[in-house]
């Protein structure tokens, strides 16, 4: 199993190097471009298969224990080790990353975004996958930082070279925000490692902050949390996200929302909660306040964009909705309770599934109509997807109601558990303050339902296609193949939440107890 995890992390890097080489004559197919796109599908497919085998071989009776571990010395002078492993917290995110990477590669094989050579596109996609997988698998603070940074360059180029209008400005904004946050985060990681005498995340979690003074923990949480908050993104450090999503190609938006945003919240759970609990307790009320501010802000921004005459972009609206949804994740983390943290982890996975599907669907609508402008889509004739492309319209409506947290679908449980966690926060936190945050967050769910239902009404509803109007294509075969897994998992997670909570809960209990359970 340990070799399997190493192969999962390193495999996409080897695949990226191979993508830049000339294709063997027998594998070129109709063209070299087709060959390299097929190569991306094969590599990501193999990684997904390996991740599924890893999940099946995982000891589900002991999800709190690190499994498939590798621990070898790398830089002896700094005591930096190549330490890998997965538990019930990281395994779902590992599988989610492998799944979305494969679906994006499959989608791109049939619908390659306009831009330069597919060779560079596939190589960047695979480097991005490797960096993200490594972020969820490494157990050393320095390796975590390196993996965390690895994804920035490929995402920058995916936006800048294959994006839409204003792509270069959006790409620069993305890289500057995240790099500045990462510099501060590195200082915090170094402070923890130097003061504790180790960079090993398992040892630091077991110590549970006992080797760090309260002042060191407070400084570490402030520095590391700032870098993680930018990537999450937490209001008011979110302003890079709408521009990046609006400009990014469809698969770039899917990976950005479905995978990259999870790296920040994962860092809060894996690093700050167990390693600096006193520092987190100091900042938890402020984190919760920023979280609920993001929930309300994201919802109000979406309501402004969906208003007739506002010229709101549908991709931009989904990006702002991510700010609100990730607010629930941060609220759950801020409660510092098993209920809240489990809710945050569940909402993380649910957001990856549902928002990934939404960006796929919005990309399909934009391809068919040539625009994602809501006023254009809901003009005199309207997109009226129910009448013009009923399967596409039904899928968009399904993704919207899943995103608003309809019971029975994946989006419900994470938000509900995060609010329950705020109802009874951890000892030492102000319950009246968190009850206020819970009430504000609950009000945010109503605003979320309002703007998503307005999107469905404006884009999907309307009269039948007028006579003489050019018809648009409904869901194609490759789109059906790329979207069906996300639909199925959204339903499965909503109806059977114990599958995911059974993995995360024992690991969260142990993490919050300082490794004593």
Could you report the per-residue pLDDT of 434-474, keeping only the tens digit for each? Answer: 999 999 999 999 999 999 998 888 888 765 555 556 667 78
**For range 347-362, the mean pLDDT:** 92
**Minimal CA–CA distance to 485: which of 401, 410, 384?**
410
Q: What is the mean pLDDT of the chain?
A: 87
pLDDT of residue 295: 94
pLDDT of residue 218: 92
pLDDT of residue 381: 52
Q: What is the spatial distance between Cα 26 and Cα 449, in angstroms, rounded to a whole number? A: 53
DSSP letter for each residue of 30-42? T-HHHHHHHHHHH
In this predicted structure, the answer to whether residue 350 has a pLDDT above a threshold of 90 is: yes
Instruction: Name the helix (H) or strand (E) containing 86.
Output: strand 80-86
- What share of the chain in percent tops pLDDT 70? 95
Q: What is the pLDDT of residues 190-209, one digit of tens each?
A: 999 888 888 888 888 888 87
Spell out the residues 6+ positions from residue 290 whose beta carbon is closer than 8 angstroms to its own: 229, 234, 235, 236, 330
pLDDT of residue 206: 86
Q: With bands split at pLDDT 50, 70 and 90, how would you rate the model's confidence at 291?
A: very high
In this predicted structure, the answer to whether residue 517 has a pLDDT above a threshold of 60 is: no
3-state secondary structure of 290: helix
**For range 18-25, the mean pLDDT:** 72
Of residues 289 and 470, the one with the higher pLDDT is 289
**Minimal CA–CA distance to 165: which of 439, 420, 366, 457?**
366
DSSP letter for each residue of 312-359? -BHHHHHHHHHHHHHHHHHHHHHTTSHHHHHHHHHHHHHHHHHHHHHH
Spell out the residues 6+ positions from residue 399 whose beta carbon is closer than 8 angstroms to its own: 354, 357, 358, 361, 490
Q: What is the spatial distance between Cα 157 and Cα 295, in angstroms, rounded to a whole number? A: 30
Of residues 370 and 87, the one with the higher pLDDT is 87
pLDDT of residue 463: 55
pLDDT of residue 107: 92
Q: What is the pLDDT of residues 55-80, one digit of tens each?
A: 999 888 888 888 888 888 888 877 78
Q: What is the pTM of this model?
A: 0.91
pLDDT of residue 386: 78
Owner of token pair 């157990």 = 139
- What share of the chain in percent tops pLDDT 90? 46
Q: What is the pLDDT of residues 395-436, one digit of tens each?
A: 999 999 999 888 889 989 999 999 999 999 988 888 899 999
In this predicted structure, the answer to whether residue 286 has a pLDDT above a threshold of 90 is: yes
Q: Are 249 and 162 in contact (CB under 8 A)?
A: yes
**For range 164-177, the mean pLDDT:** 85
pLDDT of residue 181: 86
In this predicted structure, the answer to whether residue 135 has a pLDDT above a threshold of 70 is: yes
Distances, alpha carbon 71 to alpha carbons 67, 74, 85, 131, 201, in Å: 12, 9, 9, 19, 12
**For range 237-266, the mean pLDDT:** 88
* Span between the terminal Cα atoms of the chain, in Å: 24
Q: Are 150 and 9 in contact (CB under 8 A)?
A: no
Q: What is the spatial distance between Cα 331 and Cα 443, in angstroms, rounded to a whole number? A: 14
pLDDT of residue 306: 86
Q: Are 456 and 383 in contact (CB under 8 A)?
A: no
Q: What is the pLDDT of residues 472-499, one digit of tens each?
A: 778 888 888 889 999 999 999 999 999 8
Question: What backbone phi and psi angles, to 5 degrees, belong to 85?
Answer: 175, 160
**For range 308-335, the mean pLDDT:** 89
Distances, alpha carbon 222 to alpha carbons 146, 180, 181, 344, in Å: 20, 14, 11, 20
Spell out the residues 6+ positions from residue 111 whose beta carbon is closer than 8 angstroms to its own: 250, 367, 478
Tell me the β-bridge partners of 138: 84
Q: With bands split at pLDDT 50, 70 and 90, how would you rate the model's confidence at 37?
A: confident
In this predicted structure, the answer to whether residue 275 has a pLDDT above a threshold of 70 is: yes
Both tokens of 361, joined, read 């669907």
Spell out the residues 6+ positions from residue 314 whose beta carbon is closer than 8 angstroms to its own: 362, 365, 366, 372, 373, 374, 377, 455, 459
In this predicted structure, the answer to whether residue 319 has a pLDDT above a threshold of 70 is: yes
């Amino acid at each position: 199993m340990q070799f399997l995890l190493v192969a999962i992390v390193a495999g996409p890097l080897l695949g990226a190097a191979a993508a830049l080489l000339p294709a063997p004559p027998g594998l070129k197919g109709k063209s070299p471009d087709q060959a390299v796109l097929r190569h991306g599908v094969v590599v990501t497919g193999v990684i997904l298969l390996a991740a599924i085998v890893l999940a099946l071989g995982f000891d589900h009776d002991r999800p709190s224990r690190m499994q498939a571990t590798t621990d070898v010395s790398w830089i002896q002078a700094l005591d930096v080790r190549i330490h890998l492993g997965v538990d019930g917290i990281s395994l779902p995110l590992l599988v989610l990353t492998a799944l979305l990477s494969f679906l994006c590669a499959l989608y791109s094989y049939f619908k390659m975004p306009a831009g330069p050579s597919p060779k560079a596109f596939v190589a960047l996609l695979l480097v991005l996958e490797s960096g993200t997988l490594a972020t969820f698998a490494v157990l050393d603070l320095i390796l975590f930082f390196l993996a965390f940074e690895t994804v920035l360059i490929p995402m920058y180029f995916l936006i800048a070279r294959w994006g839409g209008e204003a792509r270069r400005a959006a790409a620069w904004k993305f890289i500057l925000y995240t790099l500045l946050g990462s510099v501060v985060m590195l200082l915090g990681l170094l402070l923890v490692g130097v003061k504790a005498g180790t960079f090993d995340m398992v040892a630091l979690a077991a110590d549970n902050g006992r080797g760090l003074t309260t002042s060191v923990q407070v400084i570490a949480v402030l520095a590391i949390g700032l870098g993680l908050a930018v990537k999450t993104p937490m209001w008011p450090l979110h302003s890079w996200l709408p521009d990046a999503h609006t400009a990014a190609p469809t698969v770039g938006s899917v990976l950005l929302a479905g995978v990259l945003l999870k790296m920040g919240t994962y860092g809060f759970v894996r690093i700050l909660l167990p390693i600096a609990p006193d520092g987190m307790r100091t900042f938890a009320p402020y984190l919760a306040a920023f979280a609920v501010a993001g929930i309300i802000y994201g919802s109000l921004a979406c309501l402004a964009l969906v208003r007739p005459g506002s010229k709101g972009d549908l991709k931009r609206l989904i990006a702002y909705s991510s700010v609100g949804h990730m607010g629930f994740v941060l609220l759950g983390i801020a409660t510092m309770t098993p209920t809240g943290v489990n809710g945050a982890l569940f909402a993380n996975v649910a957001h990856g599934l549902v928002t990934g599907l939404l960006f796929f669907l919005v990309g399909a609508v934009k391809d068919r109509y040539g625009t994602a402008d809501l006023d254009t889509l809901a003009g005199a004739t309207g997109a009226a997807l129910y009448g013009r492309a009923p399967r596409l319209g039904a899928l968009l409506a399904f993704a919207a109601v899943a995103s608003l947290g309809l019971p029975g679908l994946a989006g419900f449980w994470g938000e509900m558990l995060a609010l329950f966690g705020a109802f009874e926060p951890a000892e030492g936190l102000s319950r009246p303050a968190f009850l206020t945050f819970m009430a504000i967050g609950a009000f945010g769910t109503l605003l979320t339902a309002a703007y998503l239902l307005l999107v469905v009404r404006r884009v999907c509803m309307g009269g039948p296609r007028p006579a003489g109007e050019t018809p648009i294509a409904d869901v194609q075969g490759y789109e059906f193949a790329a979207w069906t897994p996300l639909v199925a998992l959204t339903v499965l997670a909503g109806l059977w939440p114990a599958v995911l909570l059974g993995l995360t809960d024992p690991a969260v209990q142990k993490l919050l107890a300082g490794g004593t359970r």
